[in-house]
Chain A
C-alpha cells in the first residue's frame, strides 16, 4: 500500500478556530471528506505539514433556504446528502443530479460539496505516484517544468473535473468564503482562472463556508450530463450542465450551458440563448434549435488529451451530450448518463 506522508492533524469545532489553525501554519491545508486529498497525498502531490480537518465543524453542514428564497448548502454537506435532498432537487435539479453521479456511493458519503467545488484539477500526467511522475521527469503542475499534454506548452492544461461546478455556474451560485481578514462572497463564475496548476481565486488561508443558489424562476429546469467509461467511480470525461427557464407560456426564456472536464476551468457555451429563446419544448423548432446549439457547442469545445481517454472522442460527444442534456432538462428529467 502507498504510505501517507506524515502530518499534524487538527480538529477544530468552529470556523474561526479552523481559519486560525490554517493561517498560523504555512503550507497547512484543509481536509473535508478527504476522498481526493488523501490519495493525492499518497501520490506526494501535496505534503502539507498540517491538515485542518473540518469534520467536527458542525456549522459547515446542512441545507436550508433563506427568506429571499435562496438555497444555502454548507460546504461540509456530503455529496450523498446534497443528491438526496428534496430542497436541492426542487430548487437546483442539475446540482442534485451532478452530485448523484460524483465518484461512487462510498465516496459520496464521505465527499463533500465544498470539496468537490474546490477539487484539484486532474491530468493523466499528474494524478500518478511519485515514482511514475519521476520516471517522465515530472510536469509543470508539480515538481517539473514541462507539459506532456501540449508539447512546448507554457500553461498547465489540467482539467477541471468537479461535476458540481458547471451546474452551480448555470445556477448563478455565490461562494461564501472566510479568511483571516473576514468573510467575502464571490460569484462562482468569477472564481476560476485558466491555470491548471491552481484554477481558483481562493487564497491558501481561506475557507469555503457555504454555497448559495439564488431562487430560480418558477419555470426553472435543469439537468446534468456526464460522460465516463464506467457507470460509477470515474471522474467525468465530459460534463454538461444545462439550465432552461421556461416562461408562463412554456417557451424558453433563459438558457445556459456550461461544459466541464475540457480544460482548466469550466466553459460556458456562448450564443445559445439567441438560438433557443422563444422556442417551446416538444416542437420541431425547439428540436432544431437544440441541434444548432449542439453544433455550436462542438465548435466551441476542443478538449485536450489531459485526462485519460480519447480527446477526439470526448469532443465528438460534446454535441451529443449537449443535445441529450437539453432535451432532458426540457422534459424535467436527467441526469444524462449511460447507466
Chain B
C-alpha cells in the first residue's frame, strides 16, 4: 500500500489499537531526546559548507547587475582574466541553458544571458587564488548595459506587457494566473445574512538564515563532479546541474553538509552552485563560493508581497456561506516556485473551516525586484492573514465571540474540502480549546481595558503534497538500512536535515522499530552517491514521507531479525520482541539475546543484511487542473491566541504572550516539535512587527544587511507557550504530521485581532509599524468625533 498503515501486524509494540496508545508505550518515540547532531553543533565541531577547504582550492566571486532592468550589450572580461591569480572568468554564455525548480517554468540562467532583471542579478563569476584577487578581478570586468523600463509596481506589470521582463511569453509580464470556483459563490454571497468585503496587504519578508549560501565543487580527472552545497533540495540541484552543465547525472554527486538554517530560502537551485561547478570543470581545481549577507538578500526567494481582496458571507448564526478572493502577487524577477505559490494562495485556505462555496482569482506578476519564492508557510500565510482578520470582522458584525465563530465553522475530521482535498485527522477544535483555556480567554478577552487585548486565529497546513515537482510515479521518499556486525545500523536517507531534525527523526524511528539505542544508529543524509532519492526539505513533507519510508525499511529488516531469532529459539516469530538492545521472548522473558547476536544470526541465515523502504502518497486531490497542488496526505492544524498591548502615544505594539496550540498528529520528539512551534510563531510575529524586505525608488534593496533588516532580538520576543495537540493521523508515521510551518500562520492575524480588541483599530496592512498604528488611531478618533457630532445633531 502506498500510505503506511501503522495498525498493521508488524508494529513492534504488539497487537492492539496503536491509535489509542499513549507515548508511554513507545520506547524512543514521544520522548525529548537530543538531536543526533546536537553536540556537534553546540561544540562547533559540525562541518558546514564554508568549513570545507580542499588542497589548491580557488575562491569564486560574482559580478552583479547594478541595474534593475537592462540589456547586456557587451561584456569584456579580458582585463580580469589578465590579473595575476585569476584562473577563470565565466559569463552567461558559459552556461546558456535555462533552469528553474519547477520544470514548466525554466527562466533562470546561472549568469545573465543578454539581459538582467533586478539589481543583484548575477552577470559574471571569477575564480582566483583568494577572495581579494577575485574581488579585484570583478572590478576589472566591463559591462555595457542598455537600460530598460523598470517595473516596481505589480499593478503596472499586470497591465503593461512591454518591455517584457521575460521575452517570448504570450502572457507578457504575468507569471501565472489561476481562477478556480467551487460552487456558486455569487449566489451564496447574495443570500448571506452578512457580508464583509475588504482589502488587505501582505508585505515581503525574507528568510535570513544565519548561514549564508555556500558551495564547493571539485571535478575529478575521470570526469566526476562533486558539489557540496548549503541546499535543502539535493535531488533537484542534482537534476539542474545535469541539465545546465550538460553532464550525465551519474557523473554528478551532490552533498549537503550540515546546514545553518534555510526556511525555504535554499530550496531553489542557485547561481553559485552552477558557477563553482563550471569553474571547477574549467580549472580542474576545487572552487568555493561563499555569498555575502548582501548577496543572500538579493537571492531572496522570500515571502511574496500580496494585495488581497476578500469577500465573505455568513448566515446570522455565523456559518460561512461563501468566500471570494482576488489576489495580486508580486513575484519579483523570476518564476522560482511561482506556479505553486499562485495555486497555494487559493488552494490552502479551505480548512479548518467548512466553505460551502469558494472562488479565488490569483495572479502572479513579474517585477524588477529580487525573486520571491517559498518562505515557511509558502503561499498560504498571506491569504490566511487576510481571511482570519475578515473572520473576526464577520464575528463582530454578528456579535459572536471570535473563537465561537471558528468553532461553528469547523469542517470536522475525515472529510473533504470544497476544493476536493481529503482531510484525515483534524485536531483543530482541541487547538481552539487549548488556547482558549490557557490564555484565560473567557475571563480576559474584551476586559483588559483600553490598550491591551487578546486575539485569536486558526490555520491549516500541508504535510507534503502529492505533487512531486517533476511528474513521475516513483516514490517520493526512499530509505536504505545497512547493518554492521558491531551492532551499528546506518540509515541512508536523501532527506535534507536543515536544522528541523529530520536526521534525528530517522534515528528515533529506527531505534523504536529495531529496539536498539539511538547511539547505535548513524544517519548518512543528502548525498546523491550514497543515499536513495528524497525530494527534499520543503512543503513540510520530510517527517511524514521520510518517516514512513523509514518505518517501511525497518519493518522489512525486523522481519528477518525476528525470523532468525525465532528459528534459533524454536518459537513462533510473534513471540520475539526487539527492545533496548535485546531480543526477548515475550512468553519466557528469561530468554534473551543481544541485538548484536540477533544481527549475526540473521546475517548467517539470510546473507548480508540490509533493507530499503519507501513512501509515496496515495492518489489525492481534486479532479481538475491544479487539483493536486496542495493535496496533502495529512493536514496539520493550529490555533493561536496573542496577548498584546498598544502604546497609543507612540503607536508601538508590544506582544506579551503567544499561546500556540498545534495538531502535529503525534509528536515524535515533543521537544523538537515545541521548538518548531515557537520558532514559527517567532517568525510570524517578526514579520508582523519588524521585518520588511523591499526595494527603494531605484529598485535597490532598502537595506541588505542584518543591521537594517530588523530581525527581532531576544528583547523583542514575547513568551511563546507551545501546546502540542496529538490527533494521531492514520497515515502518518506513528500518526505524525507536520510541525515546521503550520504554526507560523495564525501569528499575524491573531496579532491584528488582538490589537482590535486592545484599541479598536483593524490592522489590515502589514507590517504593523508604529506609524501605521498611529494613523489608524487618528482615523478612528476622527470617525468617532464625526459620529458624535452627528449624534449631537
Contacts and interface: CB of A to CB of B under 8 A. Distances in A.
Given A131-B294, A310-B769, A230 B652 contact: no
B294 A312 contact: no
B182 interface: no
A62 to B, nearest CB: 30
Given A1-B290, A234-B710, A313-B771, A308 B650 contact: no
B700 A338 contact: no
B30 to A, nearest CB: 37
A187 B34 CA distance: 59
Given A129-B292, A339-B716, 7 more contacts: A127-B707, A128-B703, A129-B294, A136-B700, A230-B712, A231-B715, A310-B771
Given A136-B700, A320-B649, A231 B770 contact: no
Contacts of A248: none
Contacts of B650: 227, 317, 320, 338
B710 A131 contact: no
B716 A131 contact: no
A262 B212 CA distance: 34
Contacts of A273: none
A233 B649 CA distance: 23
Contact of B66 (A128, A131, A231, A338): A131
Contacts of A134: 66
Contacts of B701: 132
Nearest to A129: B294
Interface string B749-773: 0000000000000000000011100
Nearest to A232: B713
A66 interface: no
A339 B715 contact: yes
A134 B119 CA distance: 11
A66 to B, nearest CB: 37
B700 A313 contact: no
Contact of B713 (A135, A230, A316, A320): A230
Interface string B622-652: 0000000000000000000000000101111
B294 A229 contact: no
Contacts of B212: 1
A216 interface: no
Q: What are the 5 closest A-B residue pairs judged by CB atoms, nearest first?
A: A231-B715, A135-B66, A313-B771, A232-B713, A310-B771
Contact of A135 (B131, B700, B708): B700
Interface in A246-273: none
B8 to A, nearest CB: 52
Given A134-B66, A230-B690, A308 B290 contact: no
A172 interface: no
* Interface residue range, chain A: 20 to 34
Contacts of B433: none
A242 B338 CA distance: 53
Contacts of B710: 229-230, 234
22 contacts: A104-B713, A124-B708, A128-B705, A129-B704, A131-B66, A131-B294, A132-B700, A132-B701, A132-B704, A135-B698, A230-B716, A231-B713, A231-B716, A233-B707, A233-B713, A234-B710, A308-B702, A312-B771, A313-B769, A313-B774, A320-B650, A338-B652
* Interface residue range, chain B: 35 or more
A320 B132 CA distance: 48
Nearest to B708: A308
B135 interface: yes
B407 to A, nearest CB: 36
A218 interface: no
Nearest to A39: B707
B135 A229 contact: no
A128 B709 CA distance: 13
Given A3-B135, A312-B771, A229 B119 contact: no
Contacts of B716: 230-232, 339
A229 B712 CA distance: 9
Contacts of B702: 124, 308
B745 interface: no
A203 interface: no
Contacts of A136: 698, 700
Contacts of A232: 713, 715-716
B706 to A, nearest CB: 9
Nearest to A134: B66
Contacts of A234: 707, 710
Interface of A: 1-3, 6, 104, 124, 127-129, 131-132, 134-136, 227, 229-234, 308, 310, 312-313, 316-317, 320, 338-339
B376 interface: no
Given A230-B713, A230-B715, A234-B710, A131 B64 contact: yes
Nearest to B652: A338
Contacts of B771: 310, 312-313, 316
Most interface-central of B293, B647, B650 (chain A CB within 10 A) = B650
A189 B119 CA distance: 43
Interface string B679-694: 0000000000010000
Contacts of B131: 3
A232 B714 CA distance: 9
Interface string B51-67: 00000000000001011
Contacts of B292: 1-2, 129
Contacts of A317: 650
Contact of B119 (A1, A135, A308): A135
A221 to B, nearest CB: 22
A326 B672 CA distance: 48
A132 B698 CA distance: 11
B132 A3 contact: yes
A129 B690 CA distance: 22
Interface string B14-44: 0000000000000000000000000000000
A226 B294 CA distance: 28
A231 B650 CA distance: 15
A288 to B, nearest CB: 17
Interface string B95-134: 0000000000000000000000001000000000001100
A316 B135 contact: no
Contacts of A104: 713
Contacts of A308: 702-703, 708
Contacts of A312: 771
B690 A124 contact: no
Nearest to B212: A1
Contacts of B703: 124, 128, 308
A127 B715 CA distance: 25
Nearest to B706: A233
A6 B132 CA distance: 9
Contacts of A313: 651, 769-771, 774
Nearest to A231: B715
B745 to A, nearest CB: 24
Contacts of B67: 135
A234 B293 CA distance: 18
A318 B294 CA distance: 33
Interface string B290-309: 10111000000000000000
A128 to B, nearest CB: 8
B220 to A, nearest CB: 29
Contacts of B690: 229-230
A266 B190 CA distance: 61
A284 to B, nearest CB: 19
Nearest to A103: B707
Contacts of A338: 647, 650, 652, 654
B774 A316 contact: yes
A124 B707 CA distance: 11
A11 B764 CA distance: 56
A312 B769 CA distance: 13
Interface string B540-581: 000000000000000000000000000000000000000000
A253 B661 CA distance: 57
Contacts of A233: 707, 713
B525 to A, nearest CB: 27
B693 to A, nearest CB: 13
A272 B774 CA distance: 27
